[in-house]
Structure 1
Amino acid sequence: MAHTPVNHPARPIYRAIGGLVGLYFVVFGVLGVIAAAGDDLLARDDTKVLGQGSNLGFALVSLVIGVLVLAGTALGRNRDVVINGWLAYALMALGLAGLAFIRTDVNIFNWSVATSVVVMTLSLVLLMVSMYGKVGTDEEQDAWQKARLVL
């Protein structure tokens, strides 16, 4: 049994927060595509979007991530929990890799430290949203409450 809450009272708020994170990624992606229009896909130049280093490649990746998060939020019923959880861990790995490769030739997404900080922060928010957004039956909620009280 998972140790995450089932039917948390603030579940709608967490779901809305997840939607806002998805909306941020979509807005960032759209602004990134506009700012990097005409550049190479993985250009390493001085393109900044919302104060973060970016290029057309990362703008498109952000757009896809945002659409996935918004789709999961719209679908609900624990699909958002799975999508947000997996994307949170993937974004953490991407953020750490981006931070490790900022001053190297491997920095294909033209990241800056600000970009890495924002991606890591949003991944933690998505992880929190996935942990508190689980929906279940009354029996599952009772089992979770009993297990929580034992710990």
Structure 2
Amino acid sequence: MAHFPVNHPARPLYRVLAGLIGLYILVFGVWGVAETLGDPLFDRGSHWALGLRTNLAFSLASVIFGVVLIIGASRRTNLGHYMNLTAGAVFLVTSILMMSVLQTEANFLNFSMSTVIVSMVFGLILLGTGLYDKVGSEEHAETERQRRSHPVAEVHRR
């Protein structure tokens, strides 16, 4: 079973990071929709928004994804924990898949290498925030702290 820290002291910072990434993605998506409105959905043109190449499909997906990330970051429940873990994995997998088809006709989201890099960085940050923003009762958090400071655990740390 995986171990996720419960009620980590830096949890508010992680939620802010996830919210800022969500805000950037939302602004990028809205800007991209404004730039590509009227073009075909999967156009391979040279439209750029906030330093990243885009098309209408990628911009619309970014608007939805940005809103979802902001909602997850604004909740004080485990919803954000699961959303950030999932979003981080989605960003990483998508960036690797899109990098593999970057110079082909299969690049339907019109990615550039800068988009791949930003997606990977966002994926890693979101995955990291998802690992440390789990919420639990104080009893659950105390049990986790005691398990980490158990004498047997101390022997294994040395």
State the TM-score, normalized to the length of structure 1: 0.94
Which AA in structure 2 matches 1:136? G
Residue 129 of structure 2 aligns to a residue in which SS?
helix
The equivalent residue for 1:51 is: 51
1:36 corresponds to which residue? Answer: 36
3-state DSSP of counterpart to 1:53: strand
Deviation digits for residues 20-72 of structure 1, max 9, x if unmatched? 01101100000100111111110001111112111000001111110111111
Aligned to 1:95: 95
Give, in whole Å, the separation in 1 of the partners of 2:31 and 2:107: 20
Q: RMSD across aligned C-alpha pairs, in angstroms?
A: 1.2
Instruction: Report the identity percentage.
Output: 37
- Which stretch of structure 1 is more off in the superposition, 107-116 or 125-134? 125-134
Greater Rg, structure 1 or structure 2?
2
| TM-score normalised by L of structure 2 | 0.90
Q: Deviations over 1:84-119 (max 9, x none)?
A: 111111111111011111001100011100000001
What CA distance in whole angstroms lies between the structure 1 residues aligned with 2:96 and 2:148? 33
Deviation for aligned residue 1:138: 1.8
The match for 2:127 is 127
Aligned residue for 1:25, secondary structure, equals helix
Query: How many residue pairs are counted as aligned between the two chains?
Result: 151
What residue ranges of structure 1 are gaps of 5+ in the alignment? Answer: none
